[in-house]
Structure 1
Amino acid sequence: MSKDFREIYFDKQLKLEGYYFEGVSQSFPNHFHDYYVIGFVEKGKRNLTCNTLEYEVNPGDFLLFNPFDSHGCTQVEALDLTYRAINVSIERMREIITTITGKEELVKFTKPILKLPKIDELFLLLHQLILENKDDLNREELLYFFIDALIAHAADIKIEEIAFSEASKENLLLAKSYLEKNFASTVSLEELSRRCHLNKYTLIRYFTKYFGVTPYQYLQTIRIKEAKELLSNGKELLSISLKVGFSDQSHFTRVFKSLIGITPKQYQGIFKQ
């Protein structure tokens, strides 16, 4: 039997809860919440009852509960549950949906269990960053991308394509310029949105379409470009990581290796030969 481990975190920036269960055998009696629950099952099997209907839950399933959906579950075959979820209040979900659709409306999930393989990784990365409280800009981008994808596959509303004008392109260039000038600072989606006169969802969606990367990815690329110049001049790794906008050296090393394929130390070594 796995060790029962449970972790919960409230993300003040995203204004939602993230929680993680590992090795849980507990049954949950029929109950409901006054918020949305978006969960993902990594391991284990469950018999689920939701709004009087019965379902079988397996690894790789998303669980989607609307506010006041009654639900409960029991373990199957002594297979302990490993499960990740986010809880989103009605008010917060309305804010997110309004930003995405431009309309003050609420989403209703049409089924409590779905396989959504195209957005598994998106959710898992978002969830991990919530628990670690890391990469503010990346977290918020991922939240909008994930909810957008979830609406497309599992909800009762449709997202209409937003008209993209020449003025919008100019606004995107303002965002790009701001990132280039402020790469060494903490950049928030709120500030970037205000600077380029686009709402958050429109900004990240069309920035990605126009430049081929998200604002966060563009910011990281600029930071690594600047870091390479400093590395070639023999600067210390810790000093470089802080100078180009990373909170610590280990984060700098991870991002550098993910983009360049080698560590900063290895890259710096080629200039010492």
Structure 2
Amino acid sequence: MSKDFREIYFDKQLKLEGYYFEGVSQSFPNHFHDYYVIGFVEKGKRNLTCNTLEYEVNPGDFLLFNPFDSHGCTQVEALDLTYRAINVSIERMREIITTITGKEELVKFTKPILKLPKIDELFLLLHQLILENKDDLNREELLYFFIDALIAHAADIKIEEIAFSEASKENLLLAKSYLEKNFASTVSLEELSRRCHLNKYTLIRYFTKYFGVTPYQYLQTIRIKEAKELLSNGKELLSISLKVGFSDQSHFTRVFKSLIDITPKQYQGIFKQ
């Protein structure tokens, strides 16, 4: 009998729970929660009952439970469950939806089970960062992008296009300038939003639209640009990673390779030839 693995983490910045179950065989009797559950099935099959209706759950399915939805499930064909999810309180969901739509309202998921192939990778990346407690700015951007996409595919409300003025474009330039001047520091979406006088969702949505990258991606690009200059001058790798705003050398190396396609050490070697 295989031993299951369970991990749970409360994200203080995003104000929600993330958890991961691997190799779980137990059944879950009918129950409900007073919060939203957004989950993704990686492995295993389940027979699900939700609000007296029956469903079959397969790998690649999103499970979407509203507060007080009664649900339970049983294992199928001895296939253990691997599953990751986030729990979002009613109040926290209201805050997120208000930021996205500009209206103080709650979302209601229309179906408890859906295939959403266009956004599953977005959710998996967000969830991994929650469990690892990494990349605060990236994590919060991903949360808003994911909930926005989830609303569009699975909820009972519509997001209207926000009017964006020339004055608002100037605010985006303020955000861009702030990132350029503060790349070596920890930059939060809260602070960036305050500095450019735009709400968080409007900021990340229109920054991405006008500059082609998210604020986090722009910040990382600036950091790598500065790091290349230091590498060409023979500076030590650890000191460079800290100087340009990375928390450790391994993170710096991963981001550098993802953007430049070689490691910092390989890039530095060019100037030693």
- What's the TM-score, normalizing by structure 1? 1.00
Residue by residue over 1:32-56, the C-alpha shift from the partner in whole angstroms, topping out at 9 and shown as x without a partner, is: 0000000000000000000000000
Q: What displacement does 1:3 show?
A: 2.9
Whole-Å Cα distance in 1 between the matches of residues 100 and 125 of structure 2?
20
Q: Counterpart of 1:26?
A: 26
Does structure 2 retain, via aligned residues, the 8 Å contact 1:29–1:72?
yes
Secondary structure of the structure 2 residue equivalent to 1:271: helix
Does 2:264 align with 1:225?
A: no
- Taking only the aligned residue pairs, the percentage that are identical comes to 100
Residue by residue over 1:102-151, the C-alpha shift from the partner in whole angstroms, topping out at 9 and shown as x without a partner, is: 00000000000000000000000000000000000000000000000000
Does structure 2 retain, via aligned residues, the 8 Å contact 1:21–1:83?
yes
Whole-Å Cα distance in 2 between the matches of residues 82 and 3 of structure 1?
12
Does structure 2 retain, via aligned residues, the 8 Å contact 1:35–1:87?
yes
Residue by residue over 1:145-183, the C-alpha shift from the partner in whole angstroms, topping out at 9 and shown as x without a partner, is: 000000000000000000111001000000000000000
Whole-Å Cα distance in 1 between the matches of residues 52 and 129 of structure 2?
35
Q: What displacement does 1:93 show?
A: 0.1
Whole-Å Cα distance in 1 between the matches of residues 256 and 199 of structure 2?
30
Moved over 4 A (4+): none
Q: Counterpart of 2:102?
A: 102
Structure 1 gap segments, 5+ residues each: none
Q: Counterpart of 2:45?
A: 45
Secondary structure of the structure 1 residue equivalent to 2:3: coil
Whole-Å Cα distance in 1 between the matches of residues 130 and 157 of structure 2?
26
Whole-Å Cα distance in 2 between the matches of residues 162 and 258 of structure 1?
33
Whole-Å Cα distance in 1 between the matches of residues 212 and 257 of structure 2?
20
Does 2:192 align with 1:192?
A: yes
Q: What displacement does 1:31 show?
A: 0.1
Does 2:156 align with 1:123?
A: no
Residue by residue over 1:194-247, the C-alpha shift from the partner in whole angstroms, topping out at 9 and shown as x without a partner, is: 000000000000000000000000000000000000000000000000000000
Structure 2 gap segments, 5+ residues each: none
Whole-Å Cα distance in 2 between the matches of residues 138 and 73 of structure 1?
34
Residue by residue over 1:46-88, the C-alpha shift from the partner in whole angstroms, topping out at 9 and shown as x without a partner, is: 0000000000000000000000000000000000000000000
Q: Counterpart of 1:111?
A: 111
Does structure 2 retain, via aligned residues, the 8 Å contact 1:2–1:80?
no
Whole-Å Cα distance in 1 between the matches of residues 82 and 3 of structure 2?
11
- What's the TM-score, normalizing by structure 2? 1.00
Whole-Å Cα distance in 1 between the matches of residues 12 and 222 of structure 2?
27
Does 2:157 align with 1:163?
A: no
Q: What displacement does 1:2 show?
A: 4.1
Does structure 2 retain, via aligned residues, the 8 Å contact 1:208–1:214?
yes
Does structure 2 retain, via aligned residues, the 8 Å contact 1:48–1:72?
yes
Paired residues, number? 273
Whole-Å Cα distance in 1 between the matches of residues 197 and 96 of structure 2?
18
Secondary structure of the structure 1 residue equivalent to 2:217: helix
Whole-Å Cα distance in 1 between the matches of residues 188 and 229 of structure 2?
25
Whole-Å Cα distance in 2 between the matches of residues 20 and 103 of structure 1?
32
Does structure 2 retain, via aligned residues, the 8 Å contact 1:183–1:245?
yes
Describe how 1:46-61 pairs up with structure 2 within 5 A.
Answer: 46-61=46-61
